[in-house]
Structure 1
Amino acid sequence: MAKAEQHYTMPRGSFDRPAKALIVVAPYYRDIADNLIAGATAEIEAWGATHDLIEVPGALEVPTAIAMAARMSNYDAFVALGCVIRGETTHYDTVCNDSSRGITLLGLQGLCIGNGILTVENRKQAEVRADTKDQNKGGGAAAAALHLLTLSRKWGAPKGAVGFKPAAEEIKLA
């Protein structure tokens, strides 16, 4: 069914200064992860950005690794990759919901993140979504992160703390 759908893809943007992305992948299904990585790296390079790649044990660790990298390094954007295939237990729901929630919360804090963690019913669905010649969800996640980065740079740096501003000069009473 997904093959019959037509999806709009935004045109690539550009950067006026270098951009560096971190791809964080949970390679539990190695072949699926490799296809997601291939799509993400090709998209990042097509934008003229650079990237690093790290692996984490599972999808639940992806948001934690991104949060650590955001605090301790100099990446401009982040691409979350992995695959969760429904199994026989409710663990699937926990992994899908909590990894997605963690990524969303980091995005709401201002990080430029593309979520390419596949949540599927079976391996065939994952293969189609990860394939760079089909749905290319790895490339889509990288594009999402870089589009958010262009918005972030367009709007500039944070304006500073929210709240009261100290008086410029102390008022002296006579």
Structure 2
Amino acid sequence: MATAEQHYILERPSFDKPVKLLIVVAPYYKDIADNLVAGAKAEIEAVGAGWDIVEVPGALEVPTAIGLAERLSNYDGFVALGCVIRGETTHYDTVCNDSSRALQLMGLQGVCIGNGILTVENRKQADVRADVKDQNKGGGAAAAALHLVALCRKWGRQSKDVGFKPSPDSFRIADEQSRPKKV
């Protein structure tokens, strides 16, 4: 059983400039989501950071909301929260795999995301993982986001400038190739 396992937990990062995270939560299972959010808020506040929260309908919408916020707002990082409990169909696999994959791809592009979307077999597993006094996966997701923000600041780059950016010449060359030639 996972509750008997001992895990090493990194020390909380410290920040010399303000940090603000966006918590994006899918409250499909409201009581579980509320516990995840409570854990995340406590962890964020423990380092003196600020947070905002938005709700989306389900786990598949969490990455989309984070992607929109990354492009249209000014958050340092994001905490993805929700719960997917296995049901009778393969929809569980789609939701788990696609939401996780989308978050991972954004992370690889430099977005600081802590993934706290629970993927469990039953309600009992979800309750244990969401409980602030037990596994506290909401707090763990917030801690992950904060550690990634600290790494970005340590390495001195702005998150908005991360990822593939075509050179200005590539637009000029493509534009020239698409114009009709004068004869």
Q: Tell me the TM-score normalised to structure 2 length.
A: 0.87
SS in 2 for 1:79: strand
1:137 corresponds to 2:137: yes
- Tell me, in whole angstroms, the C-alpha distance in 2 between the residues paired with 1:153 and 1:115: 20
CA positional deviation for 1:162: 7.4
Match of 1:119 in 2: 119
Partner of 1:171: none
Distance in 2 of aligned mates of 1:23 and 1:3: 25
Q: Compute the displacement of 1:163 (Å).
A: 8.5
Matches within 5 A, 1:15-164: 15-157=15-157
> Would the alpha carbon gap of residues 163 and 73 (structure 1) be closer, same or farther in structure 2, given more than 3 Å must change?
closer
In the superposition, the TM-score normalised over structure 1's length comes to 0.91
Distance 1:18 1:162 in 2: 28
- Matched to 2:89, the amino acid is T
Cα separation, 1, equivalents of 2:102 and 2:166: 27
Q: Which amino acid aligns with 1:8?
A: Y
- Three-state SS of the structure 2 residue aligned to 1:103 is helix
RMSD of the TM alignment (CA)?
1.8
Q: Secondary structure at the match of 1:16?
A: coil
Mapped partners of 1:17, 1:101: distance in 2 = 31
Residue 107 (structure 1) shift: 0.4
Evaluate the alpha carbon distance shift between residue 99 and residue 14 of structure 1 in structure 2; reply closer, same or farther with a 3 A threshold: same
Structure 2 unaligned blocks of 5 or more: 170-183
Q: How many residues align?
A: 166
CA distance, structure 2, for counterparts of residue 136 and residue 156 of structure 1: 31
- 1:44-91 CA-partner distances (Å, limit 9, x unpaired): 000110000000000000000000000000100100000000000000
Instruction: Report deviation, 1:4.
Output: 1.0
Structure 1 residue ranges, 4+ long, deviating more than 2 angstroms after superposition: 158-164
Gaps of 5+ in 1: 167-174
